[in-house]
Amino acid sequence: MLRTVKRASLGIVFLCVLLAGVAQTCAQDLNAPSGAQDLVAPSGAQSLLETMHTELMRSYTALREKGEVKPYYLSYEATDVQTSVVDASLGALRVSDSGRQRILDTSIRVGDAQFDNYHRARGGMPRFTSGSFLALEDKPAPIDRILWRDTDRAYRAAVERLTLLKSTQEVKVAEKDRSPDFSSAPVVNDLQPLAAQALDRSAWEPRVRKWSALFKGERGILTSHVRITGIADNRYFTDSDGTRLRHGRSFARLVIGAQAKAANGMNLALDRSFEAENPSGLPGDAVVEKAIAGLISELQALLTAPEAEPFVGPAILSGSAAAVFFHEIFGHRMEGHRQKDEAEGQTFTNQVGQAVLPAFLSVISDPTRKKFDGQDLMGWYAYDDEGVKAQRVTLVENGILRNFLMSRSPIEGFPNSNGHGRRAPGAEVVSRQSNLIVEAAQTVPEKRLRELLIEEIKRQSKPYGLYFDKVTGGYTTTGRTGLQAFTVIPLVVYRVYADGRPDELVRGVDIVGTPLASFGKIAAAAQGGDVFNGYCGAESGSIPVAAVSPALLITEIETQRRAKAEDRPPLLSEPPATEGASR
């Protein structure tokens, strides 16, 4: 994938980027040591937690005693990430590395729960954690030093910001939402088993190598790769309320990707991914080889497919496309902090209890759910990054808005967290999505959904409708200063003709639109549902999420031409695959 998440661009206008093919973790952003061998197993976990808690209470007590501005809450979270990656292309290994790192996040609150240093100041995003590296061994001395140093740094920054906020408040109009800045949460003590990173690189290298070789000699494909990533993400959390947590998750991901360039310069990229809790849950040869064959034939077909014209008309979004559609246009607007921040568009803030979707649709955010229809979901976790137990939340019930995704930052009418405060290591927590599941009370078989599409095409007197089969991700902006718009990036799109002609593959379109206009156009849903697993990049970093939806018929969708590269395909032909002149 050619996109990366840039936090710097998120200052005022929120921009979400959801990507399927990029297993990008904050750990990798922070320059994980690669190729680590003889890694120290995350043993003695309790002692790390004990070290953290002891130092937390020492600092907290002293700051309460000595500080002119007193803290009322302090928390430490250590994220211990072990990653192994094997990547090959055209039958040769390109990456085979492992790495591990521990990152500390410190949150300190000064003032009081009603008004503290985290108070949102019209788009201003407070940041107190610095994402410091911790020793990988549970020796107190080096860990204590980092905890102490970061607490001092965060405390100074917190006092500074609170002072600034209070003085600024005096010259600003009153905020609409006067709910507190922080809420209480149950104290939890839970030491769960550590997640282990189970990717045996030496065992996977030949498989990845073999699969990647299937791209050899395929016409028009310039780049291809097969990559497997195994991650164990263990989190240690303690706070001044008394919560002590150790929990973790592992996951494995197999991504197949290929790129080509059409004669007119358009870049074409397709990918497929498979996710599982452990590498053993990933598919075997038959499934992967079939996926590669399908990807090759689709990419080659795209090379000669006609370019799509901008279009407004009826379309079917496949389950995975609809999942991304909902993640972008709906899920992000359900995030609690956006209802409070007056720089945000607040599309749904005042619509609780009102119909926001067709009555046959319900939307649930469920971080406790690990699978959907046998398929692993990437957005699950046991506790969020504020030490709150993950909870299933019904956001929309039969079209009626019921709830928001809440961290410990309350909003009017929603005083408590529902376990959706999330972050990548090094970022501040905000409310985020987990597993977003769209459920339809009335469904039709897929075949009937297609018939409905054709009827709609005829009704609108359109020459064709569109079928969005596969998407790679999307992005949206939710701020007031920008356009309340979204983009979904399809990979495989077909024109569906009403006159019985076969479907025609087209290329070069993105779905665009605005949220409120789009929801009213959802006309029908198919049976079942598809899963889209990916990484969502937003204010609190890149986090694993999933979205699930049935295929949907939309009576009106708008597409625009995709930005096209101008450079020509490689000027020389591909070099001979076997012999060279110099042998």
Partner 1 sequence: MIRLAQCFFAQPSRLRPALLLAAVTAMLCAPAPALFSQAVLPAAAKGDENLRAMVDEINRSRDLRMMVGAPLYYLNYNLARGDGFLVGYSLGALVNRGESHLRLPQVKARVGTYDSDDSNFLLSGIYQGTRFDAQTFPLEPDYPLMRRDWWLLTDMAYKGSVQSFNYKKASMQNLRQVQEFPDFTPAPATVMVLSGEPANFDKSRWDRVARTLSEVFLRYPTILDSQVQFGYSRGVEYQVSSEGAVVRRPFAIGFLRVIAKGKSDRGGEIWDGAEFLGFKESDFPSDAALHDAVAKLADGIVARQTAPRGESYTGPVLFEGVAAPQLTAQLIGRQLWIPRKPVTVPNRPLNWPRLELEGRIGTRIVSELLTVRDDPTATAFQGKPLLGTSLIDLEAVKPEPLTVIKDGRLEAMFRTRTPSVPGEVTNGRARLHGLFGAARGAASNLFVEARESVPEAQLRSRLLEMVKAANKPYGIIVRKLDFPSGGDQNALRVIFSGNATNTGKIPVSLPLMVYRIYPDGREELIRDVNFRELEIRALRDIVAGDTPHVFHFLENGATFAPIGVGTYVAETSVICPSLLLEEVELEPIRVETRTEPLVAPPPLPAVK
Q: Is 90 in the site for partner 1 (CB under 8 A)?
A: yes
Q: Are 469 and 551 in contact (CB under 8 A)?
A: no
Annotate each residue in 252-281 with x if it binds partner 1 (CB under 8 A) or - if it does not, as one string. Answer: -------x-x-----x--------------
Instruction: Copy the structure tokens of residue 135.
Output: 């020793």
- Least separation, in Å, of the C-beta of 491 and partner 1? 17
> Which of 59, 273, 347, 487 lies at the binding interface for partner 1 (CB under 8 A)?
59
Q: Is 50 in the site for partner 1 (CB under 8 A)?
A: no
Pairing of strands 464-477, 15-19: antiparallel
Read off the DSSP letter of residue 543: E
User: 397: burial class by Cβ within 10 Å (0-12, 13-18, 19+)?
Assistant: middle
C-alpha angle 580-581-583 in degrees, rounded to nearest 5: 75
- Other Cβ atoms closer than 10 A to 35: 12
- Other Cβ atoms closer than 10 A to 571: 6
Q: Is 55 in the site for partner 1 (CB under 8 A)?
A: yes
- Other Cβ atoms closer than 10 A to 139: 13
Q: Is 35 in the site for partner 1 (CB under 8 A)?
A: yes
Helix (H) or strand (E) holding 271: strand 267-276
In three-state secondary structure terms, 142 is helix
- Least separation, in Å, of the C-beta of 6 and partner 1? 18
Q: Are 496 and 464 in contact (CB under 8 A)?
A: yes
Q: Which range touches partner 1 (CB under 8 A), out of 36-44, 273-281, 433-441, 528-536?
A: 36-44
Q: Is 149 in the site for partner 1 (CB under 8 A)?
A: yes
Amino acid in position 565? A
> Which of 167, 202, 461, 578 lies at the binding interface for partner 1 (CB under 8 A)?
578
Q: Is 202 in the site for partner 1 (CB under 8 A)?
A: no
- CA 414 to chain centroid, in Å, comes to 24
Q: Is 133 in the site for partner 1 (CB under 8 A)?
A: yes
Amino acid in position 328? E
* Interacting residues with partner 1 between 549 and 568 (CB under 8 A): 565-568
124, 163, 537 from 380: Cα distances, Å: 29, 38, 16
Q: Is 219 in the site for partner 1 (CB under 8 A)?
A: no
> Which of 43, 112, 142, 459 lies at the binding interface for partner 1 (CB under 8 A)?
142
> Which of 82, 89, 318, 518 lies at the binding interface for partner 1 (CB under 8 A)?
89
Q: Which range touches partner 1 (CB under 8 A), out of 133-141, 182-190, 432-440, 455-463?
A: 133-141
Q: Is 152 in the site for partner 1 (CB under 8 A)?
A: yes
Annotate each residue in 155-194 with x if it binds partner 1 (CB under 8 A) or - if it does not, as one string. Answer: xx--------------------------------------
Annotate each residue in 417-456 with x if it binds partner 1 (CB under 8 A) or - if it does not, as one string. Answer: ----------------------------------------
Q: Is 143 in the site for partner 1 (CB under 8 A)?
A: yes
In three-state secondary structure terms, 14 is coil
Which ranges in 231-317 belong to alpha helices (H)?
Answer: 285-304
Pairing of strands 541-549, 435-440: parallel
- Least separation, in Å, of the C-beta of 339 and partner 1? 36
Q: Is 374 in the site for partner 1 (CB under 8 A)?
A: no
Query: Residue with structure tokens 């030490």?
Result: 387
- Total residues binding partner 1 (CB under 8 A): 69
In three-state secondary structure terms, 583 is coil
By the criterion CB under 8 A, which residues form the site for partner 1?
32-40, 55, 58-59, 62-63, 66-67, 87, 89-97, 99, 101, 133-137, 139-145, 147-149, 151-152, 155-156, 222-223, 225, 259, 261, 267, 565-568, 570-572, 574-578, 580-583
